A and B are shown apart, each in its own frame.
Chain A
Amino acid sequence: MIDQIKRKKVLVAMSGGVDSSVAAALLKDQGYEVVGATMQVWDYTQCDITEGNGTCCSSLDVDDARSVADNLEIPFYVLNCEAKFKASVIDPFINAYLNGQTPLPCVNCNTYLKFDHLVKKMKELECDYLATGHYAQIVQNAHGQYQIKTSEDDWKDQTYFLFTIQPEIVEKLIFPIGHLKKADVRKIAEDKKLVVAQKKDSQGICFVGNKGYDQFLTEHVSQNILKTKKGYLKRYPSNEIMAKHEGIHLYTIGQSKGLGMTYHEKLFVLKIDPLDNTVWVGEEKYLYHDEVDVVEPHILSDFNNGDTLNVKIRYQHKGSLAQVFKTEAGYKLKFNEPQRAITPGQAAVFYTQDKVLLGGGWIKI
């Protein structure tokens, strides 16, 4: 009899980490027909990283994902996305640094790969849903509209990276572990004897590895380009030249260590000017601003102009209240309290005060 009922089919993105592995296992338990897939995004054979050690989607991670899929007896495929990943994640990542910004590659990966490429694969493989191991939840509002809400685990919540999801696909998404805390997820992995139960959380940016983004840039950008990024460290507001620097890509807003100069007081990077390669440094108090413009907005759920929303300006930010006003290019945010180190290239992500993701945009210089 059971075969007569058509089971709902889910494509689950499996990175080889504990979260997406448990996501797949839970879906299987819930009676879905589960198909696992890993996106091969980067040729890790060229990468000097200790694989499986806080990385994501490397070849050893693919082995782990495959092993979990075998264990769960679900079909599993590795999908080649290297060309797309390079064009939509790696190249913009490099360009952002070369333009004095601090990029957020995980959002691009979600925008162009997980919630675009895999959505297409979901349709092509006749799946009803796409699932990922993100710490986020899908809820329905009073009008029956599907919305994304933050995870039960505030510390792990990943909705910050999800603001570019197209609103119409939200109803097609499942985040099977969003209602759990990380410790519970590990416990499930252990109970189910998944090989990844004890695996370290992925840290930082998957393709950069342990050696740091500056080394990554050195390896992937020609010296001829990098040397055009040299300039001066200048003191704000006095305009005093403090030192020469080796490239604006080596600095990020709010940075105070490794500035490449010694000085008797602690100074911070306040602003990076890509036009003349000036890196402005100064006292910490100048890092605080109460207004910022965001551009290229993505809106998942409507709100009123001038509403006070909870806004996160970086992944680890706990969120601050701001009034959000529509502008021609996006939104102007007026924070109730000044914010430290608002960084171009990062996203400002809007939430209702009860944690529903409304959308967001990119922080402009």
Chain B
Amino acid sequence: MQKDPIYLDFNATTPLASEVLQKMPELLHYWGNPSSIHLLSRSPKTILRETRKILADYLKCSSLELIFNSGASEGNNTVLKSVWNAYRPGNSFQNEIKNEFIISSVEHPSVIKTAEYLISEGALVHFVPVSRNGELDLKFIEQKISSKTALISCMFANNETGTVFPIKKIVELAQSKNILVHSDCVQAFGKTNFDVNDLGVDYATISAHKFYALKGCGVLYVKKGSPYINLVHGGGQERARRGGTENILGIASLGVMLNKLSQINAKEIELKRMRDYLEFEIIKTIPSVRVNCIECPRLTNTSSLIISGVDGETLLVSLDLKGFAVSTGAACSSGSPEPSPVLLAIGLSKQEAQNSLRVSLGWSTTQQQVDLFLLTLKDTVERLRKINQTETFSS
């Protein structure tokens, strides 16, 4: 009945790649428990081993340093709670006490909320300011690091604005004081090439569903020797570091996508061309639109816009009714009247955040889709602004 919408919300999740879809019927046969000894465990075991190995090669780490889990929220929780428990006052490891954390103020809720939990447990957390341009305040980090700092956590790239943060510089600062570094690499993985060896981080989190694979599957990189305490205790899976029978289907779907890692560079360039075209055309054809963090290094697929005079929620619904799936930082049905904490953290006013629209392109985005979107966006914004103007005049 309804035709498929044009999907421009790849930072939220990605559609399954056709290769994943094609492979799925075969993968469904590998239902055996990889921990078993009998024949049926063999294929699942192979999937685990091969996927881990290919990913480790790509990330330039050891297979032993990768832990499969349920996704990046679990990974982020595991890292922050591991480090806290390893160094907290009264820790059971005879470690020196380090109760301070430095965390960027624009992290994903799975980092921010976990940090707030650690505060309730007695940790001291410093939230690093990010400027309106999207720049992380490295001076702030320099000022806050001390012998009490246990961990610095900073995402590779922000989900809403697409800004890419200088992880290597953070690592440099941290290493001088023997501080651990974690990076939530969810948005970067599959969009730009990187490896953990080059970044120099101690922990990194990745999620399969942001890279055209299934939901419910993530990978946590833990550098050898870094503190690690199970979040999920249980069987001997993942070398007893993460209990629970493995999500073989999810891991296998990620495995399928790993065959396409070599395309990342070309896709990144192609998406940059389309994204820049999109932004150029929007600014040219629609008055009073601003692109957030345009001066900053950004993921090439992401565009965060402030369209003044238009409520983001209404724009989102209008576009959805016309068959375009995008996202907003406006206060939506979240149960919270507050708009996006990320946009507020970079210094946007509530009103600006309320007028925000996020467009994130992906590997299946076509030029025609972008052109169609541009036409519809222009029409919709003009129409909504007109209604708002009459309302303002009449009241």
Partner-B contacts on A (CB < 8 A): 35, 40, 43-45, 59, 62, 73, 75, 77-80, 82-83, 86, 120-121, 123-126
Tell me whether B335 and A59 are in contact (CB under 8 A).
yes
Query: Of A77, A80, A86, A121, which one neighbours B331 at CB under 8 angstroms?
Result: A80
How far apart sit A62 and B332, CA to CA, in the bound complex (Å)?
14
Tell me whether B318 and A80 are in contact (CB under 8 A).
no
Please provide the chain B residues from 310 to 339 with a CB less than 8 Å away from any CB of chain A in the complex: 313-314, 317-318, 320-321, 330-337
Give min CB distance, B247 to chain A, whole Å: 27
Chain B: CB-nearest residue to A75: B321
Tell me whether B320 and A75 are in contact (CB under 8 A).
yes
Query: Of B1, B313, B335, which one neighbours A43 at CB under 8 angstroms?
Result: B335
How far apart sit A292 and B357, CA to CA, in the bound complex (Å)?
52
Partner-A contacts on B (CB < 8 A): 1, 313-314, 317-318, 320-321, 330-337, 383-384, 387, 391
Give min CB distance, B340 to chain A, whole Å: 12
Ordered by A's residue number, 18 sampled pairs between the chains whose C-beta atoms are within 8 Å are A43-B335, A44-B335, A62-B333, A73-B1, A77-B320, A78-B332, A79-B317, A80-B313, A80-B333, A80-B334, A80-B337, A82-B331, A86-B337, A120-B387, A121-B314, A121-B317, A123-B387, A125-B321
Neighbouring A residues of B321 by C-beta, 8 Å: 35, 75, 125-126
Known: A43-B335, A43-B336, A83-B337. A77 touches B317 (CB 8 A): yes
Give min CB distance, B21 to chain A, whole Å: 24
Give min CB distance, A245 to chain B, whole Å: 35
Tell me whether A124 and B314 are in contact (CB under 8 A).
yes
Neighbouring A residues of B331 by C-beta, 8 Å: 80, 82-83
Chain B: CB-nearest residue to A121: B314
How far apart sit A172 and B383, CA to CA, in the bound complex (Å)?
19
Tell me whether B335 and A40 are in contact (CB under 8 A).
yes
Tell me whether B337 and A82 are in contact (CB under 8 A).
yes
Tell me whether A45 and B391 are in contact (CB under 8 A).
no
Neighbouring B residues of A59 by C-beta, 8 Å: 335
Known: A125-B318, A125-B321. A79 touches B337 (CB 8 A): no
Ordered nearest first, which 8 A-B pairs have the shortest CB separation? A78-B333, A82-B337, A83-B337, A80-B331, A124-B314, A77-B317, A40-B333, A123-B387
Neighbouring B residues of A79 by C-beta, 8 Å: 313, 317, 333
How far apart sit A45 and B337, CA to CA, in the bound complex (Å)?
13
Q: List 14 extra interface pairs beyond A73-B1, A77-B320, A126-B321, CB under 8 A.
A: A40-B333, A40-B335, A43-B335, A43-B336, A77-B317, A77-B333, A78-B333, A79-B333, A80-B334, A82-B331, A120-B387, A124-B384, A125-B317, A126-B383
How far apart sit A126 and B380, CA to CA, in the bound complex (Å)?
10
How far apart sit A59 and B336, CA to CA, in the bound complex (Å)?
12
How far apart sit A45 and B334, CA to CA, in the bound complex (Å)?
11
Neighbouring B residues of A40 by C-beta, 8 Å: 333, 335
Neighbouring B residues of A83 by C-beta, 8 Å: 331, 337
Neighbouring A residues of B318 by C-beta, 8 Å: 124-126
Neighbouring A residues of B330 by C-beta, 8 Å: 80
Neighbouring B residues of A43 by C-beta, 8 Å: 335-337
Give min CB distance, B223 to chain A, whole Å: 38
How far apart sit A82 and B332, CA to CA, in the bound complex (Å)?
10
Tell me whether A120 and B313 are in contact (CB under 8 A).
no
How far apart sit A91 and B65, CA to CA, in the bound complex (Å)?
55
How far apart sit A45 and B336, CA to CA, in the bound complex (Å)?
10
Neighbouring B residues of A82 by C-beta, 8 Å: 331, 336-337
The interface centre, meaning the residue of A40, A62, A75, A86 with most chain B CB atoms within 10 A of its CB, is A40
How far apart sit A29 and B331, CA to CA, in the bound complex (Å)?
33
Neighbouring A residues of B335 by C-beta, 8 Å: 40, 43-45, 59
Give min CB distance, A252 to chain B, whole Å: 30
How far apart sit A210 and B317, CA to CA, in the bound complex (Å)?
34
How far apart sit A227 and B170, CA to CA, in the bound complex (Å)?
54
Neighbouring A residues of B336 by C-beta, 8 Å: 43, 82
Give min CB distance, A53 to chain B, whole Å: 19
Neighbouring A residues of B313 by C-beta, 8 Å: 79-80
The interface centre, meaning the residue of B314, B337, B387 with most chain A CB atoms within 10 A of its CB, is B337
How far apart sit A2 and B314, CA to CA, in the bound complex (Å)?
29
How far apart sit A350 and B313, CA to CA, in the bound complex (Å)?
38
Give min CB distance, B384 to chain A, whole Å: 6
Chain A: CB-nearest residue to B314: A124
How far apart sit A110 and B384, CA to CA, in the bound complex (Å)?
23
Chain B: CB-nearest residue to A127: B321
Give min CB distance, B194 to chain A, whole Å: 36
Neighbouring A residues of B1 by C-beta, 8 Å: 73
Give min CB distance, B51 to chain A, whole Å: 36
Give min CB distance, B385 to chain A, whole Å: 10
Tell me whether A80 and B317 are in contact (CB under 8 A).
no
How far apart sit A231 and B314, CA to CA, in the bound complex (Å)?
48
Give min CB distance, B388 to chain A, whole Å: 9
Neighbouring A residues of B317 by C-beta, 8 Å: 77, 79, 121, 125
Neighbouring A residues of B333 by C-beta, 8 Å: 40, 62, 77-80
How far apart sit A82 and B333, CA to CA, in the bound complex (Å)?
9
Known: A77-B317, A79-B313, A80-B332. A124 touches B337 (CB 8 A): no
Neighbouring B residues of A120 by C-beta, 8 Å: 387, 391
How far apart sit A125 and B383, CA to CA, in the bound complex (Å)?
10
Chain A: CB-nearest residue to B334: A80
How far apart sit A234 and B391, CA to CA, in the bound complex (Å)?
50
How far apart sit A34 and B336, CA to CA, in the bound complex (Å)?
27
How far apart sit A73 and B320, CA to CA, in the bound complex (Å)?
15
Neighbouring B residues of A35 by C-beta, 8 Å: 321
How far apart sit A59 and B335, CA to CA, in the bound complex (Å)?
9
Give min CB distance, B35 to chain A, whole Å: 37
